[in-house]
Amino acid sequence: MKILFVCLGNICRSPLAEGIARSLSSEHTFDSAGTGHWHIGEPPCKKSQNIAKRKGIDISNLKARQLSKDDLNKWDKIIVMDERNLNDVKQMGFKNISKLLKEDVPDPYFYEDEEGMDELFEMIKKGVETIL
């Protein structure tokens, strides 16, 4: 199965989900992308890299990219982080979409330092484990 995780900028939540998924399963193909273009080519934010590293996962080599029409038929599942991502991805014509969790996964982009990152990591991990 090929699974794509999607958030807004592809520097916080979706690379964390990708890293967690890769650490839990080698049976599937994983990637991540953002609906926005602001961070294309950038590594995950330091907060996401730091929490992943503390949990034994290295996501420092990932680079942000924007979701594109090329992704339309490439992925078995598109997993989004929140309602806004869900609506944006639907508008692009994707059909095989679901949210990671019933509730929105909060965007840590504006978190103060590492505040809330442990909870965010556990939230994303729970959703990834459920999908797998």
Q: What is the β-pairing status of strands 29-34 and 97-99?
A: unpaired
- The residue to which tokens 């978190």 are assigned: 111
Q: Is 45 a catalytic residue?
A: no
Say which of 12, 13, 22, 71 is annotated catalytic: 13
Q: Is 22 a catalytic residue?
A: no
Say which of 7, 45, 65, 82 is annotated catalytic: 7
- Neighbouring-strand partners of residue 7: 34
Say which of 58, 71, 104, 107 is annotated catalytic: 107
Q: How distant, in Å, are the alpha carbons of 40, 52, 73, 93 from that of 68?
A: 12, 26, 11, 10
Q: Nearest CA to 73 among 100, 97, 94, 99?
A: 94
Q: Which residues contact 60 (CB under 8 A, 6 or more apart)?
A: 43, 44, 49, 53
Active site residues: 7, 13, 107
